[in-house]
């Protein structure tokens, strides 16, 4: 048998293989268990020692030649396939990158930043406190009597636990406890007292739910404690704040006598508005033709019992306080109708009413620039 001719024939067939599948079939045909070259190796057992010395090296050379040719051809075909794949999957790096999903700042977060910016310009600091409160800080220290409806189970979320002083624990119903804690901290650091000017924004909880009320909402309260404070300071502060927040110079306030346990005297603050395109737009006097008055927030001079509970002498220190719903003024400013949408987590609503992360409120550029 001419083993050299057999090798040349095998090499020619290997070179003519069209693809990897054909090459694999040829490998099995030549070198598989039932392959032709493998069959030649099996014949060595029936030969004499002299024949094996002569024929064995030729068959081995045939096997090695075929194996080497198959490996070389396979590597070349795989390299060509890879080159073709890379050419078909090439990326044009000059093209713009695919648009990534972009989030927005929630209107409540934006409004809280706006409030902090406005009040910081008036010299107010931001104070915070725990959302889980005891009934002394939340009610008693604020001169809210035991019989007050706000203490009822159907209005307030109580915990079954009590604190170390056997006081009932609850989810705070307003941020007013922060005022008490701030006064106590100031007295601790400055015996005899010191001026206070803070706002206390944060989440509060009440058992209520409809289109304009949710069990959890956001509130900001302000507190000023100093000597010689009177209602004129309160009115100026609120007027300056509302003009800056709504970005209108024609905001007109009406202070109406009211009652809150923690302030005396107490006033409800009404703001003039008009209906424009079916929505309330603040501005102008409520007594003007086509206008009306809308109650916006509660305020008053801090009750002397509250000042005393905060560790200060009410004969020496006076102050005013006010509270307003953050969600409500966000709805008024940006034309939103349903408070419940604030907490739905609807990406479409957030895309419409949300703000860009770069829309940082500043008094010079405008505190309410939408995305």
pLDDT digits (tens, 9 = 90+) for 146-193: 887 777 777 889 999 888 888 999 999 999 999 999 999 999 999 988
- Asked whether 214 and 208 are in contact (CB, 8 A), the reply is yes
Residue pair 245/122 in contact by the 8 Å Cβ criterion = no
Q: What are phi and psi of 21, to 5 degrees?
A: -65, -45
**Helices and strands in the chain: count of H runs, count of E runs:** 11, 11
Q: Is 264 annotated as a binding residue?
A: yes
Per-residue pLDDT averaged across 63-82, rounded?
Answer: 88
Q: Which two tokens stand for residue 147?
A: 């019989």
Q: Cα(336)–Cα(115) distance, rounded to whole angstroms?
A: 18
How far, in Å, CA of 114 to CA of 263, rounded?
26
Q: Give the chain's length.
A: 371
3-state secondary structure of 270: strand
- pLDDT: which is higher, 240 or 8: 240
- Record the tokens describing residue 261, joined without a space: 């346990």
What Å distances lie between residue 20 and 14, 70, 82, 364, CA to CA? 11, 10, 13, 71
- The confidence score (pLDDT) of residue 371 equals 41
Average model confidence (pLDDT) across the chain: 87
Instruction: Record the pTM.
Output: 0.69
At 235-263, the pLDDT tens digits run 999 999 999 999 999 999 999 999 999 99
| Rounded Cα distance, 356 and 354, in Å | 7
Reported as a single tens digit per residue, the pLDDT across 276-310 is 888 888 889 999 998 999 999 999 999 999 999 99
Paired residues of 223 in beta bridges: 198, 321
Nearest CA to 352 out of 366, 338, 367, 364 is that of 338
pLDDT classification of 368: cutoffs 50, 70, 90: low
- CA atoms in the 13 A half-sphere facing the CB of 275: 4
Strands 196-205 and 216-226: antiparallel
pLDDT band at 356 (very low <50, low <70, confident <90, very high): confident
Per-residue pLDDT, 152: 77
* CA gyration radius, the chain: 41
Core vs surface per residue 79-106: b (16+ CB within 10 A) or e: eeeeeeeeeeeeeeeeeeeeeeeeebbb
Judged by average pLDDT, the poorest of 76-85, 179-188, 332-341 is 332-341
> What is the rounded CA–CA span in Å between residue 134 and residue 321?
21
What residues form DSSP beta bridges with 276?
Answer: 279
CB within 8 A of 357, min separation 6: which ones?
103, 104, 105
């Amino acid at each position: 048998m001419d083993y050299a001719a057999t090798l040349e024939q095998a090499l020619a067939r290997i070179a003519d293989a069209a693809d990897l599948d054909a090459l694999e079939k040829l490998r099995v045909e030549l070198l598989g268990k039932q392959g032709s070259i493998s069959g030649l190796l099996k014949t060595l057992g029936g030969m004499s020692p002299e024949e094996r010395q002569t024929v064995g090296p030729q068959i081995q050379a045939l096997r090695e030649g075929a194996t080497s040719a198959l490996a070389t051809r396979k590597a070349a075909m795989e390299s060509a396939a890879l080159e073709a794949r890379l050419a078909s999957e090439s990326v044009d790096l000059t093209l713009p990158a695919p648009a990534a999903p972009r989030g927005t700042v929630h209107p409540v977060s934006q409004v809280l930043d706006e409030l902090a910016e406005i009040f910081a310009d008036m010299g107010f600091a931001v104070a915070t406190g725990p959302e889980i409160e005891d009934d002394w800080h939340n009610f008693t220290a604020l001169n809210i009597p035991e019989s007050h409806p706000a203490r009822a189970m159907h209005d307030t979320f109580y915990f079954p636990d009590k604190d170390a002083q056997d006081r009932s624990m609850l989810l705070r119903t307003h941020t007013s406890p922060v005022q008490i804690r701030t006064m106590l901290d100031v007295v601790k650091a400055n015996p005899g007292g010191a001026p206070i000017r803070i706002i206390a924004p944060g989440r509060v909880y009440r058992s209520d739910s409809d289109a304009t009320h949710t069990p959890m909402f956001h509130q900001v309260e302000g507190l000023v404690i100093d000597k010689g404070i009177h209602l004129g300071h309160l009115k100026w502060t609120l007027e300056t704040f509302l003009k800056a927040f709504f970005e209108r110079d024609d905001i007109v306030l009406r202070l109406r006598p009211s009652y809150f346990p923690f302030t005396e005297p107490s006033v409800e603050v009404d703001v003039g508005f008009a209906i424009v395109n079916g929505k309330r737009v603040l501005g102008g006097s409520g007594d003007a033709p086509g206008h009306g008055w809308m109650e916006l927030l509660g305020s008053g001079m801090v009750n002397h019992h509250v000042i005393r509970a905060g560790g200060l002498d009410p004969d020496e220190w006076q102050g005013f306080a006010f509270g307003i719903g953050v969600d409500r003024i966000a709805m008024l400013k940006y034309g939103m109708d349903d408070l419940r949408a604030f907490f739905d987590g609807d990406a479409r609503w957030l895309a419409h009413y949300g703000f860009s992360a770069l829309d940082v409120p500043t008094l010079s550029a405008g505190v309410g620039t939408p995305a």
